[in-house]
Amino acid sequence: MAKTSPLVLDAMIVTGNTKAAVKAAGGGSSDLWTVPPGEIHYDPRDNVRPLDMERVRHLASLITANGYDRKKPLGCFVRKVGGQDRIFVYEGQHRYHAALMAIQEGAEIDRLPIVIDEAKSVNRVNLIYSGITNNDGEKLTPLQLAEKVVELQELGEPNATICKRLNITDQTIRDVLLLAQAPAALHKLVREKVVASTLAIEEIRTHGGEKALERLSNAAAQVKASGKTKVTKKALNKPATHKITDVQAKQLLQALQSVLHDPVFGKLSPGTIAGVHTALTPHADLLDPLPPTRRKYRISKPNAHGVYVDHETIKAPISTRLKLHPAEIHLAQIAVGKWISSISYRMGSGSGTSPCSWHEGEPTYLTRGQAIRAAVTFFTRRLEDPRLGKTKEAPAVRAWLDKLWSAPDPDWTEEMATGVAK
């Protein structure tokens, strides 16, 4: 069965004292607060849409040329962090990051205008609703909407309330949930705009997720062979070929090799072990080198700012156009069996970086391989944005991510697989 994308819920927000936070930040007092940019904090989990660095770059240029438009305050709330009241932006993230970029490039911006929500109204549910409705000018994709509907349901919101507050119908909820529960590979086709969301939903409703993935994947291979990029109903209704393509054959070989290299391969039944060896032996010259055996990794220590500077970096193949590595994954083991990861990228005219840091309550991973997979998943979602996903570097980065995702995990043990990791 094809894998589905797991839902990761964010921790509950602990609200803080508005006046205390503004006073500590050196802000002015009025209904419209003004605060030094460096005292405003940002957490990507508070925003429903991923940060688009190309849009940040564009807005930064406008701010540098024209100044910050004080008629457009940032939407903020106060969160308790380590016992301190801190201001976090959740509406206007692109303007916020653009202001910081403009300041770095020489613009003089002493304070930014902000409006702070009352503490009693601040919770994860209201942040999601506000994020969706305030992004109505540029509607969320069906997949982005689906993720937030699922999260609202997990937070206890009834469908009737979701429909009312988002002005959508029960049918819309049913449709996006069909898409949310589909295999991850089908999500990839939709995100890459090979398959329209409406067509995907129609196929899932008619055939179920697994069969819809098979039909749409076959159709995608056919249209690609003909030099086109999108699957249409006409292409979908053509008789599907039953031949395995070179790409599919390579994927099957890599999957079988991963089974062979898995640390618990010897626990399989003798018949399965023999079958794997029989299938792979004739193709030994095509197999990748054996993965490294399990080894001990050093424990990284954070600096004064909580950043793990002493970390490992995995780099994508260098771009011949940019003469640099377009993407990097950063890894650190912060305690035995506790790994974290972050990403950096320079693709097209956009760039972004996340420090290799960790805060209480954030996820960690049992092995280095699992941390890599987490970074791959996050980065793959970032590539859904066409401004990033359509850059010249994107195909090579996707191929690099796919290779990392399918690589065996030499540190994975039978105990971890059964949920009793030591």
- The whole-angstrom separation of Cα 137 and Cα 145 is 14
pLDDT tens for each residue of 313-367? 999 998 877 788 999 999 999 998 899 999 999 888 778 888 888 888 888 988 8
- The whole-angstrom separation of Cα 301 and Cα 290 is 31
pLDDT at residue 278 greater than cutoff 90:
no
Examine residue 109 and state whether it is found in any structural domain, yes or no.
Answer: yes
Examine residue 164 and state whether it is found in any structural domain, yes or no.
Answer: no
Q: Are residues 106 and 27 in the same domain?
A: yes
**pLDDT confidence band for 253 (50 / 70 / 90):** confident
User: Of 81, 104, 126, which closes a domain?
Assistant: 126
pLDDT reported for residue 422? 38
Q: What is the mean pLDDT of residues 241-269?
A: 70
pLDDT tens for each residue of 15-28? 777 777 777 887 76
Q: Are residues 276 and 372 in the same domain?
A: no
pLDDT at residue 41 greater than cutoff 90:
yes
Render the burial of 1-21: b for 16+ CB within 10 Å, e for the rest.
Answer: eeeebeeeeeeebebbebeeb
pLDDT tens for each residue of 374-393? 999 999 988 888 888 888 88
User: Of 98, 126, 154, which closes a domain?
Assistant: 126
pLDDT reported for residue 138? 59
Examine residue 152 and state whether it is found in any structural domain, yes or no.
Answer: no
- The whole-angstrom separation of Cα 368 and Cα 337 is 9
- The whole-angstrom separation of Cα 96 and Cα 49 is 14
- Per residue, what are the HEC states of 385-406? CHHHHCCCCHHHHHHHHHHHHH
Examine residue 231 and state whether it is found in any structural domain, yes or no.
Answer: yes
**Which has the closest alpha carbon to 181: 156, 208, 162, 214?**
208
Q: Are residues 197 and 250 in the same domain?
A: no
Render the burial of 123-157: b for 16+ CB within 10 Å, e for the rest.
Answer: ebbebbbbbbeeeeeeebbbbbbbbbbbbbeeeeb
Q: What is the mean pLDDT of residues 104-131?
A: 85
pLDDT reported for residue 260? 66
Q: Of 84-88, 277-281, 320-324, 411-415, give the range with the top mean pLDDT.
A: 84-88
Domain housing 251: 246-286
For tokens 């692109």, name the residue: 94
Examine residue 192 and state whether it is found in any structural domain, yes or no.
Answer: yes
Render the burial of 257-282: b for 16+ CB within 10 Å, e for the rest.
Answer: bbbebbbeeeeeeeeeeeebeeebee
pLDDT tens for each residue of 144-192? 788 888 888 888 888 888 888 777 788 888 888 888 888 888 888 888 8
Across all residues in the chain, what is the average pLDDT?
A: 81
Q: Are residues 44 and 100 in the same domain?
A: yes
pLDDT tens for each residue of 186-238? 888 888 888 888 888 888 888 888 888 888 888 888 888 777 888 888 777 65
Q: Are residues 251 and 346 in the same domain?
A: no
- The whole-angstrom separation of Cα 63 and Cα 331 is 35
Q: Are residues 228 and 250 in the same domain?
A: no
Examine residue 297 and state whether it is found in any structural domain, yes or no.
Answer: no
Q: How many residues does the chain have?
A: 422
Q: Are residues 121 and 203 in the same domain?
A: no
Q: Are residues 50 and 104 in the same domain?
A: yes
Q: Are residues 209 and 250 in the same domain?
A: no
Joined tokens for residue 256? 């079988």
Q: Which residues contact 234 (CB under 8 A, 6 or more apart)?
A: none
Percent of the chain surpassing pLDDT 70: 85
Query: How far is CA 113 from each of CA 33, 66, 294, rounded to the nearest angstrom?
Result: 6, 16, 53
Q: Are residues 223 and 254 in the same domain?
A: no
Joined tokens for residue 174? 């049913």
Q: Are residues 25 and 41 in the same domain?
A: yes
Max Cα-Cα span within the chain: 76
pLDDT reported for residue 37? 92
- The whole-angstrom separation of Cα 35 and Cα 68 is 13
- The whole-angstrom separation of Cα 247 and Cα 250 is 5
CATH code where residue 54 lies: 3.90.1530.10
- The whole-angstrom separation of Cα 287 and Cα 182 is 31
pLDDT reported for residue 327? 92
**Which has the closest alpha carbon to 40: 132, 120, 113?**
113
Q: Are residues 266 and 207 in the same domain?
A: no
pLDDT at residue 420 greater than cutoff 80:
no
Q: What is the mean pLDDT of residues 63-91?
A: 88
Q: How many domains does the chain have?
A: 4
Examine residue 259 and state whether it is found in any structural domain, yes or no.
Answer: yes
Asked if 36 and 111 count as a contact pair (C-beta separation under 8 A), the reply is: yes
- The whole-angstrom separation of Cα 324 and Cα 396 is 13
Examine residue 163 and state whether it is found in any structural domain, yes or no.
Answer: no
Q: Which residues contact 189 (CB under 8 A, 6 or more apart)?
A: 195, 200, 216, 217, 220, 231
- The whole-angstrom separation of Cα 21 and Cα 84 is 8
